[in-house]
Structure 1
Amino acid sequence: MCTSFKLKSHIFDNSKGDQLLVDHLTGVAEIALNTTKYNGVINNELEEVIKTIGLCHDFGKASSYFQEYLQGRYHGELKQHGEISAYFTYYMLPASWKILGFICVKRHHGNIDIDNSFFNTDNEKNLKDISEDIRKNIDELQSIYNKNLGDFFDKMKDGSLIKEVKLSYIKRALVVKKKSIKEQEEEFMWLQYLWSLLLTGDKTQLITGNTFKNKGILTDEFTGNYKNKLRKDLINKVPDIEKSPLFSIRDDIYNNTIDSISNIDLDKDRIMSINVPTGTGKTISVYGAAFRLSERLIDEKKIIPNIIYNIPFMSVIDQNYDVLEEIINLSKMDVTSDLILKHHSMSPIEYKDSEEKEYRNYDARFLVDNWQSTVITTTFVQLFNTMFKSGLNSIMHRFHKLAGSIIILDEVQAIPPKYYHIIEDLFNILCDKFNCYVITVTATKPLFLQGKELVKDNDVIFSKMNRIVFENHTENMLNLDDFKEIVVKDIEENKNKSFLIILNTVKSTLGVFGFLKEELSGTRKVIYLSTEIIPAVRLKIIKEIKNSKEKYVLVSTQLIEAGVDLDFDIVYRDIAPMDCINQSAGRANRNGVNGKGIVKIYRLIGESGKTFASYVYAGPLLEATLKILDDREKFEENELWEINNKYFSKLREVTKNKSLQDYKEYCEEIKALRLQNIRKLELIEENKNKIDVIIRYNSESEDCIKIIENSENYEEQEVVNAWRILNKYRIAVNKNDVIDMVHEIKGSNFLNKEDYDKDRGIIRRNTTCI
């Protein structure tokens, strides 16, 4: 029997010293096990499974080949440890978990691509040689696993275990045919969860040595104090706001939401909704709901949940995070990375915990990407990557964060209808099996993830709204030149009104912007926004308009629609799906103190006679919208409840066949666990005609380029953050417009400042933009 442990898992170059294999294995198992306990996802069988996977994942490091490799004395292929560890994990697990455990461990380094060859060994002789070599350390291993392992080594030597693994996958294909799609989806979710726990345990054990635990300090008192501050500030800024019905409606919505959360059944009410008009304080209400729900889960379930706030658009995420930061600051709490975290492609890699420990380079990057924080503010893309980028090690390590969490889907209507069935299936499993709660937030509630409505009598609230009147001019199509004349005349006749013109393509916005800029020169300030304006400038423009009392004329693409807290008197909107029109209307007379805002809807065509909308939106969405608007020359905000319900009913009807086809294809991939195909699902479909270009805009961008060019180590925190800062200067453009203008640095496309206009975007030599 072994009396001391000698096998090592890691050798460090710093003062940490070497790590024993037994310490790493038990540490990984403990972190994985504690993580799932904190999530509230645990039972006796699952506890044993997670512990076994953690303890077995690096079993192969017990070979003399790997031990010599650690010392720098062996570099042959027999040092590999993942495959033999997978066979050992399979051997140790209960029958129903063997296949999943094998998959997780075989690819705990690298990505998972499952085909028929995955369950075959690449080199059976090598595998047997490694196994026989490990047998020499059987005493130490039997002490670690408290089990006689002779049978395992015998089965590896005669090849019977290798054959058993191969046959088990074939048998699985027969068994899975008898399972329902829900059972197949659950297996898929358990695979991702177990793999995520292993990846997180493996990396966290080396970085912090401890299980991350959420902070149970958030209460709805935080949001209540912030709401009261906003009230006072708004009264000071807009004294007449107290007379507006909207003022009391916002209070009613917040109080109603908190009351509802206080009374929900925590075991049954796992999907909830806040469906109220735009500009009625949804952000504060949903944070209040999440904090109150967190309090209840701590008190009643002894679970401290994390809160994942998801937003569809990058243009809004900083605004949302700023609100969260203000809520925390107002409550005299320190803003640390383990309390709140902003995660998107432009957020810097910085991680400092509440004990003032700052992590650097790979460690910081992992902790940020792993969402080791209590409240995470992120995008829909990051959330759905976490769910659907199956088999990608660099993303899926955070899947476990969805378990035991409160997931907020703000502007849920932005999810493409063809994904409704798929997403609803997986969210139902997250709620049923992984102790998750979902709160959707929208002014235009789609017909999925319906859940329990937290704002009682919200139809009555919609009926009370009278801030906006809609003018429908879509009966006939209108060319852009005629539209320009209509708009400029309206602006000249309303000198004391602010205008927002939202169009569907870059070409149409540039045409209208150029015309208005010239026609209104010296009389009105005309500003342009589109995805071709670099993000750094977009944010400045939005802040400038928000903080000024000047009556601007803003020409923008649809990026301005959802969540951007701007207020205009008159809004023009080229035809779009009804939910987008509704969001555009949310930029009109938000506070309801300037009489009535006006939203004018047109159907614009280009020189080819084709509508600009058809380049951007799917035909069925536009078809459903035009049918809803068909007999309405004018309508008011208080009719939106009825209109929205009719729209989504019509939408479900016209998209049903396509949605079912996509769903069936997805189910087939799930059945075979073809993770490499499942991860092809894209929430935002790639436009193959576009490329990303980084503008060499100012000294900050040039400094970042120098850092990147002068470094060979991509993992250095300074280099990673340089790339992330450059995302503030990154735009997507038609490749033919810039093909002769861009140059490449470290695999990315760059454009010189001389080829970029800060007010209009790309200075094109050849125009193909739509």
Structure 2
Amino acid sequence: MERYAHISKDFRTQTLDEHLRGTAELSAKFAAVAGMERLAKILSKQHDAGKNSHGWQCYLKKSSGFDTSIPDAECDKGSHSDAGAVYMLKNFPKPLNLLLAYVIAGHHAGLPDFYGSGHGKGLLERFFDDGERLKTELLDAAGEYANMPLPEWCTPYELTRFYKEYTKEYIHMWGRFLFSCLVDADWLDTERFMKPEDFAARREPMGLDELKRRFDVYIESKRRSAPDSRVNRIRNKILERCIEAGGIAPGFFSLTVPTGGGKTLSSLAFALVHALAHGKRRIIIAEPYTSIIEQIAKVLKYGTDDEEEIKQMKERGECLFGEENVLEHHSSVDPDKELYTNRLAAQNWDAPIVVTTNVQLFESLLAASPARCRKLHNIADSIIILDEAQKIPAEHLSAVLSSLKALVKHFGVTVLLCTATQPALNGEIGGGSAIVEGIEECTEIIPDTAGLYDSLKRVEYRVYKDDITKKASWEEIAGELSKKSQVLCIVNKRKDCRELAKLMPKGTIQLSGFMCGEEISELISEIKRRLKLGDDVRVISTQLIEAGVDVDFPSVWRALAQLDSIAQAAGRSNREGRLEKGEIVIFNPESEPFGEIKIGAQVTTTFVSRPGFFAELSPKSFYRYFRKFYGDMHSLDKSRYTELLVKEAAEGRIQFREFAEGFKLVDTSGQKTVFVPYGENGKLGPELIERLRAEGPSRELMASLQRFTVNIPERLLNEIYAKGGIEDVHGYYVLNKIFYKPGEGIITDSLYNYDKDNFIY
């Protein structure tokens, strides 16, 4: 009797053999980049072996409508991945058998744990009786697949070689890579049969050689049109140095360039040259904030982030890389403005240039779910530009650095750490029991970083009232800011932003996480417009504007925080060097920071208190600051990376799911997401919310609504809910419009009672 893997809505059938062969071909192709194509092929040929059972075949035929006469008693959906996992456990030596079993067992439900926990059954419970006897009866469902002989190459030596070259620190990443190859191949082969129109729409990515040609034309045009200023001459030197460094052998690189030094385009120039010199497949740019991503993605797509210029360039067909070659993957992407092919590419990052968030990158690298892990094999043989590298949360340094080192050592990845304030990531990092092994070798692209800093100094730092230990009231700061026609003030918390903005003159713009992404983007565009015209513009913001957003104020005020944050804030002043010196004022607000900001502010205070500190600010200053900052952290491994993924990995005992559930690069515990009715015309918040109410959730609708979300403390949500300000719409929280005020965001009388309030991500 013919066995089927899939039956389409129009009753076309794909046999099980066809699906296993198709998946094996794709998976082997994906795994070849790391030399694991033979193992990938074996995994693929066993991954759906459980579908061979009579009960599962009956279930498929009846549930698809292919044969509705089958009695329910004969149908058994069961777990069709168990048989393949047991095949691996039975036929391969330890611990390789466990590592392969994880891959097949998790290809639908997600990578499991070795030990059972609150996150599901472990391998021991699932496939062994009393933790010892293998449940070989689970192979019965596979029929002839259970007796599939191993290929001749499967000698003890070869099988041991596959994982022996990996230290125990990286074994889990080895398993994730194979998991990614299997999942993407499985889903693509299924799509090829079930949704051939989607499969056909997936295009072959444009080659990086063509993108390099376009980039060269763009840069030459930009150079010709740029004024011959001192700042632009320095930017050109940085660009040339990055192009020269592109030929250096792959590995870790750092690009330490002061703010306003043109590192976005220079880092891309390095990546394009490096990719062509060493056969890399794609460039992945990771940013800490979505506000930065939107700006950078526009520059990469069109060559500018100015909306009017973008409109003109699209009309003339003169875009830089074009929308089809730059994939934005973050929560604020509007699917209505996104190419359909890019929405498909977002599933597995099959695009030449990917712009994403640190959260998306690292939580995918260390995920357990098939959907998130699917893209991992496309990270191999790529270049990762980790922009604003200092924004990696210190409490997760252990997991992040280990993952990056694994990618560089075993998966052909080059990592570029790109920032004006380079963190100290070499040698032993931390202190006491919180020690992390840093990066052994990292090539700095700029040979004289100290000299570069001196040549690009365009601002003058000063401490408010010359005493960083003296507290300043919001009324005091508001009075100073109100005297200036163009000024930016950056504070640490959302409620600080609200309090200070209330004391400012009418027309002051505030930016904070109490606003949805759509409004934040619109306000940043308005700020740029006013600055360009020379109009008055006063802005009170959380740190969402601090790094990477190209605004240029004559005066910037910064609440006491981490030293790198102060330097990043300085990058929003006198960027183009039009003034003799921009002004940076650091003040100590009455409002206390918390978490990493508090530790960083304490370290900063000790440095800033030294006479002449800012006059001598240099890359060495930041190195010393980060050494002290990491040393003062209580933990650099909050998610228990070593305990759950490394400690027993050599024996194959890995807690994939438990770790993934606990690893959140940005801590949103105690926070709830609400949809807000911002906007009045077109497909904005109110209309999308009405669609949710009428139609229920869909993937496309929920993606569109992401631009209209705000995260708030759960206690605040409960309070607004009690006042009738929030309703439950198909399981999602929707805010009443009277609780959202354009220009301020979410409003409620007791907003200020929530002291431990996240700043912004």
Q: TM-score range by the shorter chain?
A: 0.7 to 0.9
> Residue 748 of structure 1: CA displacement?
1.9
Partner of residue 124 from structure 2, selected from 110, 113, 119: 119
Count of residues in correspondence between the two structures: 677
Query: Quick check: 1:705–1:722 contact (8 Å CA) kept in 2?
Result: no
Give how far 1:571 is off.
Answer: 0.8
Query: Of 479, 485, 496, which residue of structure 2 is paired with 1:488?
Result: 479
Q: After the TM superposition, which residues 692-703 of structure 1 pair with which residues of structure 2 at under 5 Å, given as runs? A: 692-699=673-680, 700-703=684-687
Corresponding residue of 1:57: 47
User: What is the distance in 1 between the residues matched to 2:459 and 2:480?
Assistant: 21
- 2:377 aligns with 400
Q: 1:471 to 1:554 in 2, by over 3 A?
A: same
Q: Does 1:13 align with 2:12?
A: no
C-alpha distance in 1 between matches for 2:2 and 2:637: 57
Provide closer, same or farther for how the CA distance between residues 536 and 270 of structure 1 changes in structure 2, counting only shifts above 3 A: same
1:621, 1:463 → 2: CA distance?
25
Contact persistence 1:503–1:509 (CA under 8 A): yes
Structure 2 match to 1:270? 251
After superposing the two structures, state which structure 1 stretch, 51-60 or 445-454, moved more. 445-454
Give the SS at the match of 2:553. Answer: coil
1:157 maps to what in 2?
none
The correspondence for 1:465, drawn from 456, 461, 465, is: 456
Would you say 1:554 and 2:536 are equivalent positions?
no
Which one of the candidate residues 656, 659, 662 is aligned to 1:675? 656
Are 1:507 and 2:489 matched, yes or no? no
Please say if 1:23 is aligned against 2:18: yes
| Distance in 1 between residues matched to 2:85 and 2:481, nearest whole Å | 71
- Using the TM superposition, give the Cα deviation of residue 214 of structure 1 relative to its aligned residue in structure 2, in angstroms: 4.5
Tell me by how many angstroms 1:70 deviates.
Answer: 2.2
Q: Are the equivalent residues in 1 in contact too, given 2:208–2:275 (CA < 8 A)?
A: no
2:560 maps to 575
Counterparts in 2 of 1:511 and 1:617: CA distance versus 1, 3 Å: same
Q: Conserved in 2, the CA contact under 8 Å of 1:370 and 1:397?
A: yes
Deviations 1:649-674 (A, max 9, x none): 3223323x633786654566664311
Structure 1 residue 453 corresponds to structure 2 residue 453: no
* Cα distance in 1 for residues equivalent to 2:738 and 2:602: 42
Q: How far did residue 478 of structure 1 move?
A: 4.8
Q: Following the alignment from structure 1 to structure 2, what is the Cα–Cα distance between the partners of residues 280 and 451? A: 21
Tell me by how many angstroms 1:141 deviates: 8.6
Q: How many angstroms does 1:336 deviate by?
A: 5.7
Q: 1:77 is paired with a residue of what secondary structure? A: coil
Query: Which one of 494, 502, 514 corresponds to residue 532 of structure 1?
Result: 514
Change (3 A) 1:505 1:233: farther
Find out whether 1:516 has 2:509 as its counterpart.
Answer: no
Matched, 1:541 2:540: no
Please give the per-residue CA displacement for 1:226-259, whole angstroms capped at 9, x wherever unaligned.
3344445554xxxxxx23x211010000111001
Aligned partner (choices 545, 550, 572) of residue 565 of structure 1:
550
1:414 aligns with 2:391: yes
660-669 vs 436-445, greater mean Cα deviation: 660-669
Confirm whether residue 284 of structure 1 aligns to residue 268 of structure 2: no
* Distance change (3 Å), C-alpha of 1:19 and 1:334: farther
Give the aligned CA root-mean-square deviation in angstroms.
3.3
Matches within 5 A, 1:323-338: 323-327=299-303, 335=322, 337=324
2:253 is paired with a residue of what secondary structure? strand
Mark the CA change 1:194 to 1:704 in structure 2 (over 3 Å): closer, same or farther.
same
- In the alignment, does 2:720 pair up with 1:723? no
AA at the equivalent of 2:76: E
Matches within 5 A, 1:355-394: 367-389=345-367, 391-394=368-371
Q: Give structure 1 stretches of 5+ with no counterpart.
A: 150-171, 173-177, 236-241, 299-303
Mapped partners of 2:150, 2:589: distance in 1: 74
CA–CA distance in 1 between the matches of 2:412 and 2:169? 16
CA contact (8 A) 1:57 1:105 kept: yes
Find the counterpart in structure 2 of residue 222 from structure 1: 214
TM-score of the two chains, using structure 2 as the length reference: 0.82
Offset of 1:551 from its aligned partner? 3.0
SS, match of residue 532 in structure 1: coil
| CA positional deviation for 1:342 | 0.7
State which drifts further: 584-593 or 508-517.
Answer: 508-517
- Give the deviation of 1:347 after TM superposition: 1.6
Amino acid at match of 1:193: F
Give the 5 Å matches for 1:128-139: 131-132=139-140, 134-135=142-143, 138=144
Q: Of the two, which has the highest radius of gyration?
A: 1
Structure 2 counterpart of 1:426, from 376, 383, 403: 403
- Give the Å deviation of 1:645: 2.5
Which residue number in structure 2 is paired with residue 41 of structure 1? 34
Q: In the aligned structure 2, how far is the partner of 1:666 from the partner of 1:650?
A: 28
Contact kept? 1:756, 1:763, Cα under 8 Å: yes
- Distance in 2 (alpha carbons) for counterparts of 1:761 and 1:477: 32
Q: Deviations over 1:603-655 (max 9, x none)?
A: 1114xxxx3xx23544432222111111236734x633342222123223323
Distance 2:151 2:713 in 1: 64
- The percent identity for this pair of structures is 23
Deviation at 1:499, TM superposition (A): 0.6
Letter in 2 for 1:118: L
Q: Structure 1-normalised TM-score? A: 0.81
Note the 1:605-684 alignment, pairs <5 A.
605-606=590-591, 611=592, 614-615=593-594, 617-632=596-611, 635-636=614-615, 639-655=617-633, 658-659=635-636, 664-665=642-643, 671=649, 672-679=653-660, 680-684=662-666
Please report how far the alpha carbon of residue 58 of structure 1 lies from its aligned counterpart in structure 2 after TM superposition: 1.2
Secondary structure of the residue aligned to 2:272 is: helix
Deviation per CA, 1:380-438: give whole Å up to 9, x if none. Answer: 0000111222x222212222222111111000000122332332222111111111111
User: Do the aligned partners of residues 551 and 349 (structure 1) sit closer, same or farther apart at CA in structure 2, a change above 3 Å counting?
Assistant: closer
User: How far does residue 559 in structure 1 lie from its aligned partner after superposition?
Assistant: 1.3
**Unmatched tracts of structure 2, length 5 or more:** 63-69, 117-121, 153-159, 194-198, 305-313, 426-438, 756-761
